[in-house]
Amino acid sequence: LKEQVARQGVFKQFGAGGYGNSDNAFTDESEVKLHQRLEKLYLSTRAAKHFQRDVVRGVEGYIVTGSKQVEIGNKLSDDSQKYGIENTCTSGNTLSRAATYYGKARSLIEKERGNMLKAFGTQVAEPLRAMVMGAPLEDARHLAQRYDRIRQEADAQVVEVSRRQSRVRESAGNSDVISKLEAAEYKLEELKSNMVGLGKEAVSAMAAVEGQQQRLTLQRLIAMVEAERTYHQKVLEILDHLEEEMVSERQKIEAPPPPAAESFMSPPPPSYDEVNGMFASTSADQAVNSVDFFLGEV
């Protein structure tokens, strides 16, 4: 009987430790490594899932806030262009033209902002949300949870085998007690086999999900950076062109008037008597050659 119990090697295979809420666990090295690997994958995929959810929430909040900014910017654009069209100033239209330039540029800027927000939604939030709620992650987590339940059953069966071994030692060869021990040991081996097979399947599924999480999340973050970078580049081009137009309008009103216009004053024309006296003292040909203008009375 002692040899029969020793061949089972129950206590050489199982000992203390645990996964989940289990108090006992197997000390078989390959199974322990499998369990540790699955535990790390479970924690990793859960953390990645939470991060993806945080990114989705942040992007959605950014879209809501950005949409309000687009609305405000378009209103400012309409007001600026309206002032430019009405042109009520009596001393010039420089500000009106500048306001028109600004209104049109603001409209282009808000259009680019809208494109960026749309990219945030379609290229970042939607793919990440689909993965958070997707079947692969849930299926892998269910496999891990099934593995954990079987492992807990196997832990309980270890205790049962140990208890029946004690009874065998106390029963002095009772066949019924020995049969129950053998049945308990068989069930333990069956649980262990199922546990290992399910554990490998869960590890494979969780590893695939982890790799997909890492790749997809990184791709979506890069897409978000590229969309924002494109937005700022186009806005900078719009603002550079707008500044040139507005500075040009300002220079027109700040430039000093030409010096000739301020200093030149034409001499007054001679009187009627002076011209008539000139013609009286000279011949007609001389008068034509000596004066630049004539006066006539009607």
Domains of the chain (ranges; CATH) run 48-253 (1.20.1270.60)
What confidence tens digit (pLDDT) does each residue in 163-205 have?
Answer: 878 877 777 667 777 787 788 888 888 888 888 888 889 899 9
Which stretches of the chain are DSSP H helices? 2-8, 10-13, 29-86, 94-120, 126-132, 135-171, 175-254, 259-263, 272-281, 284-290
With contact defined as beta carbons under 8 Å apart, do 111 and 133 qualify?
A: no
Q: Give yes or no for residue 11 having a pLDDT over 90.
A: no
What confidence tens digit (pLDDT) does each residue in 96-130 have?
Answer: 999 999 999 999 999 999 999 999 999 999 999 99
With contact defined as beta carbons under 8 Å apart, do 78 and 103 qualify?
A: yes
SS3 122: helix
CA distance 124 to 235: 22
Q: Give yes or no for residue 43 having a pLDDT over 70.
A: yes
Residue type, 200: K
With contact defined as beta carbons under 8 Å apart, do 119 and 223 qualify?
A: yes
CA distance 102 to 127: 37
**Residue 159 banded pLDDT, cuts 50, 70, 90:** confident
Nearest to 164 by CA among 176, 146, 150, 148: 176
Give the CA dihedral 89, 94, 95, 96, nearest 10 degrees. 70
CA distance 178 to 167: 9
